[in-house]
Structure 1
Amino acid sequence: MADGAGEQPALRDEPASWPVRSSGDLHRDGWVVALREDRIQRPGHPEEEPFRRVVLEHPGAAVILAVDDEERVLCLWQYRHAAQTRFVELPAGLLDVDGEEPVDVARRELVEEAGYEAQEWTHLVSTYSSPGISEELAHIYLARGLREVGRGDFVPAHEEAEMETGWVAFDDMVEAVLDGRLRDAPVVIAVLAAHARGLAGSARASR
């Protein structure tokens, strides 16, 4: 918070890196994420003891708000054990292949999870899920010009084996987000970003 004594910082996130005095693995088994403990030194204060922070290492993700010509959103209903909730979600996938661009991950996941390809891709926003503890950066895209192609040889397992899909009017999604019926962060961010930019639903029709 600015205290009035100096110029307020610029309204943008900026890369920064504080000195790490030591680092060690807390958990690493090769499945998606790992936990790391860092001891961090506040810059310019060598007299202070380094403080401990736990970092959830995560490769990042791509999320797809797929909207058809009737302004309906392709939704997934999927159970998430950590939250003990069956969420309404959007197709998404991990950036777990080195060098693969987020939009290419989005293209692949839209086929694998939903069986659709899209002709038009618009980057809506990229957002950190919980930067106090996690490295995860989600890249959210709007996909249009949808064409059903099937899921190929992809075979769902575990939670995905129970996943259901369906189409929901975009304006109904906005209402459900605003009244708290939808709480999955990528869904909330994708829907509100597209709505604010007039890219879907009645807001698009009125442009």
Structure 2
Amino acid sequence: MVADLEAPRPVVSHEVIHAGKIFDLVGDVVDLGDTQVLREYVAHPGAVAVIALDDADRVLLLSQYRHPVRSELWEPPAGLRDVPDEELVVAAARELAEEADLVAGSWWRLVDFFTTPGGSDERIRVFLARDLRPVADADRHTRTDEEAGMVPVWVALDDAVDAALSGRLHSPTAVTGVLAAAAARSRGWSTLEPVTA
């Protein structure tokens, strides 16, 4: 069976090249055995994302401007792991409520991935959320910055898969999450690991 193997190499030195608001640019001198190399990368807190599916197997996607790629991308609700010691599924539930005004009654771990393993240590866990209902009016989050302009749309899962495979979706959380959800559905949801929010 194929599986990635966590296999850290000794770090001879570590330098913060730039300390940023959300993530840092760092440089590590890594001992590979035969040689030592300098590797610069983005040190990132990580993130969570939510594939929210309604009873008709439609997935919620949000349009959000992403400045580094100068594009408005269709993405699932998602956010940084920026609350210390917060469980991942709790972070996902918080993001679903904040970005989509939704609460889910059922949660599963869908997929984990590194966004850019050659240049960042960012890791994202994607959850599947079902049994959706609106948040209470008193619990609605006030969205700011790029989040203020997000437009929600419900897309049939099969149409979202077509959009991912045809190159119309580019967000890694959308592409990975949508394809993972479709793969899980094709296996009767038997591969999913339930979690409690």
TM-score normalised by L of structure 1 = 0.85
> Is contact 1:33-1:57 (8 Å) kept?
yes
Tell whether 2:57 aligns with 1:71: yes
Whole-angstrom CA distance in 1 between matches of 2:133 and 2:147: 22
- Residues 55-93 of structure 1: per-residue CA shift (max 9 Å, x gap): 211111110000111211111001100001100110001
Whole-angstrom CA distance in 2 between matches of 1:153 and 1:182: 28
The answer for unaligned runs of 5 or more in structure 2 is 190-197
Whole-angstrom CA distance in 2 between matches of 1:124 and 1:96: 21
- What amino acid is the match of 1:143? A
Does the C-alpha gap of structure 1 residues 153 and 172 become closer, same or farther in structure 2, counting only changes over 3 Å?
Answer: closer
Aligned match of 1:180:
167
Cα RMSD (Å) of the superposition?
1.8
Q: CA deviation at 1:121?
A: 0.5
Aligned length: 188
Whole-angstrom CA distance in 2 between matches of 1:121 and 1:144: 7
> Is contact 1:111-1:150 (8 Å) kept?
no
TM-score normalised by L of structure 2 = 0.89
> Is contact 1:73-1:170 (8 Å) kept?
yes
Please list every run of at least 4 consecutive aligned residues from structure 1 whose deviation after the TM superposition is greater than 4 angstroms.
none
Q: CA deviation at 1:109?
A: 0.5
Larger RCO: 1 or 2 (CA < 8 Å, sep 6+): 2
Whole-angstrom CA distance in 2 between matches of 1:104 and 1:167: 23
Aligned match of 2:192:
none
Does the C-alpha gap of structure 1 residues 68 and 74 become closer, same or farther in structure 2, counting only changes over 3 Å?
Answer: same
Tell whether 2:99 aligns with 1:113: yes
Q: How does 1:118-157 map to 2 (within 5 A)?
A: 118-149=104-135, 152=139, 154-157=141-144
Which has the larger displacement, 150-159 or 88-97?
150-159
When Rg is computed on C-alpha atoms for both structures, the one with the higher figure is 1
Q: CA deviation at 1:153?
A: 5.1
Q: How does 1:1-207 map to 2 (within 5 A)?
A: 11-29=2-20, 31-43=21-33, 45=34, 48=35, 50-149=36-135, 152=139, 154-198=141-185
- What amino acid is the match of 1:63? A
> Is contact 2:18-2:26 (8 Å) kept?
yes
